[in-house]
Structure 1
């Protein structure tokens, strides 16, 4: 393992505390099923859109499109070893985990979007299609130092094996689970990733195996729905990101929940569970202690109408 790939020493940071406590990861993926990936090498502000390098009109256009389609913006850059090699124009990507597609393009020389806004509004019309996939590793140190300290070694390890697919990215949520890795357009999120296991984790995912020790869930779903979809997929012998699956969350009184999971051409499953409030702890560096709410599955059974 190189110095770039070496994991950081244990400290009092949020990610070290989460690992000591064994904070559960499942049900913690962020919202948004359509993401726009904006390449920008310069340092990202805690709110990255505040540091967007673009003309005023381009900023306005992006903000309007993000609101129209409820999309999630992510800043991306190549890992350090590759960033110095870049001579091509800055790129953008649109990924959609419901459609399972992605489309890429380049920014205009004047700072315009070069088709990105049109792709964000309608990725299929812009030529989006299934591809090899995009690997996003959060290294957003100005949001939380754990993301940079643990994320950059993971990004370097993945870039050595998957150079074209790997990007560093801005905040993915769940700082305490650093390093965090999103596999798009599957919409699958993993946490607690270390450099020496990152490549195998990606290969296992692409082979249809869920690494349950690291899986955080699927983007765009409520926490209980992420947990239920994972349990139902396991019962059906599928992966949670199988697009034949659909789910519907039904909240119940007193912290209980029900999710109905359906598979094309098969009987629906009823997943029931409850929420557990963890002991208060810092969920991000420098923040006061808070109780994490964890959805727990009680039962998976066929739905009887």
Structure 2
């Protein structure tokens, strides 16, 4: 079908073209635009996890990603079962820009250890059955020393904003770091598109555009994590994530492993979180936060049901 024959609805449901339609031209609800107008806080919204399975898939991505693919049933069940056992998140990925039509596709298992060590295992697949190699990889030690993978959610069949805002960001980043950047399927927090996940670092960023994404990732790769677009670290609980974001905002950028959450106390809607810093960061910091529920609102483009989320607002940041 020629793109000239598509109407706005067709384009918004077409992964390759969704980013070409200006939001104002459609008269539709866009969750990311609405979240910006409301001023939704991003801190504390990173999805939990320390293991990721990436599967390069060049065809169309179903709304539910890997689960919706028409793959050989036995292999798909093996991968799904092993991923659940490892508490791994399975993401479909593809390179930004024109899709490569020939040659083997890649898969990867990325893991962040509790020590902060990072491991990766990579392989290729031609036939569905080749994906069974992911199963032993999930229970094997990976290899250190790889650069991190930059994942940009561009899953238009899951949420329109992920494609509209994600694809330009993926394009901008791939122009700078072509070997590191992949578009990926749904990672959570559609209303914070464009979202970037740095794995296996386990760092979520949100609210990005092409310019801010390049600056943010440049700082990240230099181990200078800033608070401005940070949603959180995936190995922390939401209030702990929000506390670390508050500390970075208060004391300035720091490395991924420069702050360690050492104590978390909760009483009702009040949280007190102790954070230990590595030099030259402050050695002991205490953050107090108040949790509250947001007013009901539409949180995603495709989900018209009203929802409410828990927000963690810092009320005190001090050296302990």
SS at match of 1:113: helix
Shift of 1:137: 0.6
- Superposition map of 1:90-129 within 5 A: 90-98=105-113, 99-107=117-125, 109=127, 111-113=129-131, 115-122=133-140, 125-126=141-142, 128-129=143-144
Give the deviation of 1:5 after TM superposition. 7.9
3-state SS, counterpart of residue 49 of structure 2: coil
Which of 266, 277, 281 is equivalent to 2:297? 281
Gaps of 5+ in 1: none
Farther-moved stretch of structure 1 (95-104 vs 27-36) = 95-104
Conservation of the 8 A alpha-carbon contact between 1:146 and 1:175: yes
Q: 1:44: Cα distance to partner?
A: 1.6
**Is the partner of 2:34 in helix, strand or coil?**
helix
Stretches of 4+ aligned residues off by more than 4 angstroms: 3-7, 232-238, 263-268
Q: Residues 208 and 64 of structure 1: is their aligned pair in 2 closer, same or farther, counting only changes over 3 Å? A: same
Q: CA distance change for structure 1 residues 38 and 7 in 2, over 3 Å: closer, same or farther?
A: same
- C-alpha distance in 1, partners of 2:300/2:285? 35
TM-score scaled by structure 2?
A: 0.82
Return the match for 1:88 from 103, 106, 123. 103
RMSD of aligned Cα (Å) = 2.7
The change in CA–CA distance for 1:76 and 1:248 in structure 2 (over 3 A counts) is: farther
Is the Cα–Cα contact under 8 Å of residues 7 and 150 in structure 1 kept in the other structure?
no
Q: Are 2:198 and 1:183 equivalent residues in the alignment?
A: yes
Secondary structure of the structure 1 residue equivalent to 2:232: strand
Tell me, in whole angstroms, the C-alpha distance in 1 between the residues paired with 2:234 and 2:255.
11
Partner of 2:189: 174
Tell me the SS of whatever aligns to 1:295: strand
Superposition TM-score, scaled by structure 1 size: 0.86
Name which of 276, 285, 288 aligns with 1:272. 288
Q: How does 1:239-254 map to 2 (within 5 A)?
A: 239=254, 241-242=256-257, 245-253=260-268
How far apart, CA to CA, are the structure 2 residues paired with 1:110 and 1:143? Answer: 23
Q: Deviations over 1:42-78 (max 9, x none)?
A: 1122211233353222112112211211111111111
Which residue is 2:4 aligned to?
none
Q: What secondary structure sits across from 2:23 in the alignment?
A: coil
- Structure 1 residues 67 and 247: CA distance shift in structure 2, 3 A: farther
Among 135, 148, 161, the alignment partner of 1:133 is 148
Whether the aligned pair in 1 keeps the contact of 2:258 and 2:278 (CA below 8 Å) is no
Q: Distance in 2 between matches of 1:269 and 1:197?
A: 29
1:150-299 equivalences under 5 Å are 150-232=165-247, 239=254, 241-242=256-257, 245-253=260-268, 255-263=269-277, 268-285=284-301, 286-299=303-316
CA distance in 1, matches of 2:319, 2:23: 47
**Contact between 2:52 and 2:199, CA under 8 Å: does it hold in 1?**
no
Structure 1 residue 111, shift from structure 2 partner: 2.8
The residue matched to 2:84 in structure 1 has which SS?
Answer: helix
Preserved CA contact (<8 Å) 1:136 1:183? yes
The answer to whether the 8 A contact 2:119-2:144 is kept is: yes
Whole-Å separation in 1 of the counterparts to 2:160 and 2:20: 16
